[in-house]
Structure 1
Amino acid sequence: MHALEDPEAPFRFDYRPAAIRYGAGEVTGLGDELARVGVSNALVVAGTTTGTTPAVIDPVREGAGKRLGEVFAETTPEKRLDTALAGAARYDDRGCDGIVALGGGSSLDVAAAVRALVAHDDREEAVAAFADTGRLPVPEGLPPLVVVPTTLAGADLSLGAGLTATPANGHVETAVDGGLSAPGLMPEAAVYDPELVATTPTGVLCASAMNGFDKGVESLYARTATPITDGTAARGLALLRDALPTLRGDDPDYGRALRGMVLVQYGIARPEGSTLALIHAFGHGLTAHAPVQQGAAHGAVAPHALAHLFAGADGRRELLADAVGVEADDPAGGVVEAVASVRDALGLPARLRDVDGVEREALPAIAATTAADALVENVPAGVAVDANALEGVLDAAW
């Protein structure tokens, strides 16, 4: 029995989220949010496409008004250290006093690194620490951050970010796949506007949605679940199970999808731990060894990861079944099928062999990296998370 199935079980929930602003056209209030947190000259950190596409950047400019100082449209999916350093230099050059992160998970992650770097007295020392340990130190005195997501990855209310470096891009002698994490990285505000999400290409949006959907699934079965995250994740999954299949149709429900994504990520990133678990650990393992989009990798692996979970533990299968709308004598099997159905409706690959960049011979290394990921600590007791067992899951997904 999961500990939270006991209504008298004690729990502690320490969560200090961003102020959340949601609604069609709400990006017009971006300037108000910047004023609220004391920003008069914001650096907008965005992708090379997002930051130059008029349908996206023009509403942001208009919403920020005189509080927008500069657009740094140089982030890439690799989340590179050199990009973050260039962003920090631009921040200094333009005399900025806050950051707006615009786009998907990559831009939000790079913005978090820029935020940490501009607060460092000695950036060379911070870079050296990242090269040695894979972790970029996060100092006190971070500048304010407002996030404006354009995808459904659910990376917005976060305390951490990914960051990479290669010798080709400077600053390191060997490749580093790491990141940064600290309670202070939670943004001050998040502005969710379905009209901006609607500008994202369908394929990109659908892949990001799978990543976000799995956050809700994992929040219900993780050891670190709480009654509060049970409520938000279950409601979010109910919205997503209906909205996500519409994204490839004639009448996509961006509003319901975005509301669901806010809910499934609410409370999952807390100072004492995350509710992300096995599926996201596999995502980290796959992206560490293959140039894949994490959401696409999730689509192929998630049903098999859940089947493995349910083979070793209850996994709160009945709660999950109710959240994804399954009425079956076999709730575990129903959940696996429901997750696969969402993946198929999003048009994502059903097999790892069909995910560009994943090679069969890399599966043992992917399994080893997954087994070493910190998120496997959140997997319920009884589920095998050693490299051999996880390689079996990858074989099934292949």
Structure 2
Amino acid sequence: MSAAVYETLPARVVFGAGSVARLAEETNHVGLRRILVLSTPTQHDLARRATAILGDRAVGVYERARMHVPLATVIDAVEVATELGADGCVAAGGGSTIGLAKALSLRAGLPYVALPTTYAGSEMTPVWGITEDSRKRTGRDRSVLPRAVIYDPELTATVPAAVAATSGLNAIAHAVEALYAPDSSPPVAAMAERGIRDLAEALPVLRTGASDGAARATALEGAWLCGACLGATTMGLHHKLCHVLGGMLDLPHAETHAVMLPHVAAFNLPAAPHAAAAVARALDAPVAVAALHKLVTELGAPTSLAELGVSRAQLRAIAEETLTAPYANPRPADLRDLTDLLEAAWSGTPA
């Protein structure tokens, strides 16, 4: 790499088993006094635990976070936060909850502290997304970064093995795109390669359902690194396709990333040999794309869009929507390219 620009993002990270106990201390450190705890319905217990730790600082719990951050949910959450006089939030959960916290930061100026429970790494990026009328709008804004992230491996102990696998593959997709992003840099490349390696090491252990604290910690470290390197770079074709699929069809976010990962890699990595070499090293394999496909398969993640309920008749519309506002990519893609790529992903043909 002959030239690069690398700008660090503001971040405060607390890492370690049992670090959730520092939640009140961390919210105090960033100046939050009236806190709305955000979660999905399935994270009810964690939301209540966070409320107990916060004590009088907690003014309420909003448990209606949803995948892809529907605009209606954002409006509802803003109204609740306003009625309660909240001056900030705690996002207790995975990507859906953290996505809602980002939207509240963007639209209502509410800062937040993140308590991640999956391995997607979204909390480390300034990327936001809001879905309206079956279209997911995304953008980058530093205001949506959390004021602090508390990574506690113990909080991931109850995450289902399938969720651990797909959220981790989502994070690996962040790192792969960061490796061939036009604004990548040596620090980003180092974080991406290490993040992929950490997740590839830990996810097969977690897939067995083993209660392995060391593997959970390694996976969280990988998620942190993969999210951070995406946060510092431009998204490409992989993320554009996943945003279109999620917005148009309301597909499960992490599972969509898992399906698309080896197929977009097969399209892009030949045009980015340095990225292909880094992925191959991280996966300790001779060929990056084959190793990614093998990892997805061995983790038991979905391998086709058909498994997620996509019909073949929808593929052309997805390709056309992807081309309306394309992201930066190492290889140009036209309608035929995208249709062929989506056909392979729909059928599950090995990349």
- Give SS of 1:190's match: strand
C-alpha separation in 2, matches of 1:349 and 1:143: 36
Tell me the equivalent position of 2:59.
69
- What letter corresponds to residue 323 of structure 2 in structure 1? A
Q: What is the match of residue 260 of structure 1?
A: 222
Question: Percent of counterpart pairs with the same letter?
Answer: 30
Contact 2:175 2:226 in 1 (8 A): yes
Would the alpha carbon gap of residues 14 and 195 (structure 1) be closer, same or farther in structure 2, given more than 3 Å must change? same
- CA distance change for structure 1 residues 384 and 248 in 2, over 3 Å: closer, same or farther? same
Task: From the superposition, tell whether residues 242 and 373 of structure 1 become closer, same or farther in structure 2 (CA, over 3 Å).
Answer: farther
1:78–1:298 Cα change, 3 Å: closer
1:187–1:290 distance in 2 versus 1, CA, 3 Å: same
CA distance in 2, matches of 1:74, 1:310: 39
Query: CA RMSD, aligned part only?
Result: 1.9
Moved over 6 A (4+): none
CA contact (8 A) 1:247 1:346 kept: no
Q: Distance in 1 between matches of 2:294 and 2:82?
A: 48
- Contact 1:367-1:387 at 8 Å conserved across structures: yes
Q: Secondary structure at the match of 2:207?
A: coil
Q: Which residue of 1 aligns with 2:292?
A: 339
Q: 1:147 aligns with which of 111, 114, 135?
A: 114
Aligned pair in 2 of structure 1 residues 263, 312: CA closer, same or farther (>3 Å)?
Answer: closer
Question: Deviation at 1:263?
Answer: 0.9
Partner residue, 2:96: 106
- Report the 3-state secondary structure (helix = DSSP H, G, I; strand = E; otherwise coil) of the residue aligned with 1:316: helix
Q: Give 1 or 2: higher helix fraction.
A: 2
Q: CA deviation at 1:16?
A: 2.0
Equivalences for 1:9-48 in 2 at 5 Å? 9-48=2-41
How far does residue 20 in structure 1 lie from its aligned partner after superposition? 0.7
Equivalent-residue separation in structure 1 for 2:58 and 2:201 (angstroms): 37
Inter-partner Cα distance in structure 2 for 1:191 and 1:313:
34
Q: Contact conserved, 1:286 with 1:366, CA < 8 A, in 2?
A: yes
Of 131, 153, 162, which residue of structure 1 is paired with 2:129? Answer: 162
> What's 1:369 paired with?
321
* Cross-structure match for 2:304: 351
Paired position in structure 2 for 1:213 = 172
Equivalents in 1 of 2:318, 2:185: separation in Å?
A: 30
In 1, the alpha carbon distance for the partners of 2:290 and 2:142 equals 36
> CA distance change for structure 1 residues 335 and 186 in 2, over 3 Å: closer, same or farther?
same
**Aligned mates of 1:285, 1:86 — CA distance in 2:** 24
Amino acid at match of 2:171: G
Deviations 1:9-44 (A, max 9, x none): 232212223201111111110111101111111111
Report SS of the residue matched to 1:61. helix
Superposition TM-score, scaled by structure 2 size: 0.91
CA distance in 1, matches of 2:41, 2:173: 27
**CA deviation vs aligned residue, 1:229-254 (integer Å, no higher than 9, x gap):** 11111111111111011122142521
Which residue of structure 2 lines up, in the alignment, with residue 116 of structure 1?
Answer: 106
| 1:238-292 deviations in Å (ceiling 9; x for gaps) | 111110111221425211111111011114224xxx3432222221232233231
Aligned to 2:49: 59
**Distance of 1:84 and 1:391 partners within structure 2:** 33
- 1:132-190 CA deviation, whole Å, 9 max, x = no partner? xxxxxxxxxx3321111111111101212211234xxxxxxxx5532454222211111
- Contact 2:128–2:141 (CA<8 Å) still a contact in 1? no
TM-score calculated relative to the size of structure 1: 0.81
What code does the residue aligned with 1:12 have?
A: V
Aligned partners of 1:306 and 1:336 also within 8 Å: yes
Q: Is the 8 A contact 2:128 2:140 kept in 1?
A: yes
1:60 is paired with a residue whose SS is helix
In the alignment, the residues of structure 2 paired with residue 87 and residue 263 of structure 1 have an alpha-carbon distance, to the nearest angstrom, of: 30
Counterparts of 2:259 and 2:127, CA distance in 1:
25
Return the alpha-carbon distance in structure 2 between the equivalents of residues 18 and 93 of structure 1. Answer: 29
Q: What amino acid does structure 2 have at the position aligned with 1:145?
A: Y
Of 250, 264, 272, the residue aligned with 1:291 is: 250
Residues 102 and 144 in structure 2, CA contact (< 8 A), matched pair in contact too? yes
1:311 Cα deviation after fit: 4.0
Matched position secondary structure for 2:320: helix
| Paired residue secondary structure (1:39) | coil
By how many angstroms is 1:374 displaced?
4.0
Cα separation, partners in 2 of 1:372 and 1:315, compared to 1, 3 Å: farther
Where does structure 2 lack aligned partners over 5 or more consecutive residues?
Answer: none
Counterpart CA distance in 2 for 1:181 and 1:308 is 25
Q: Distance in 1 between matches of 2:254 and 2:230?
A: 18
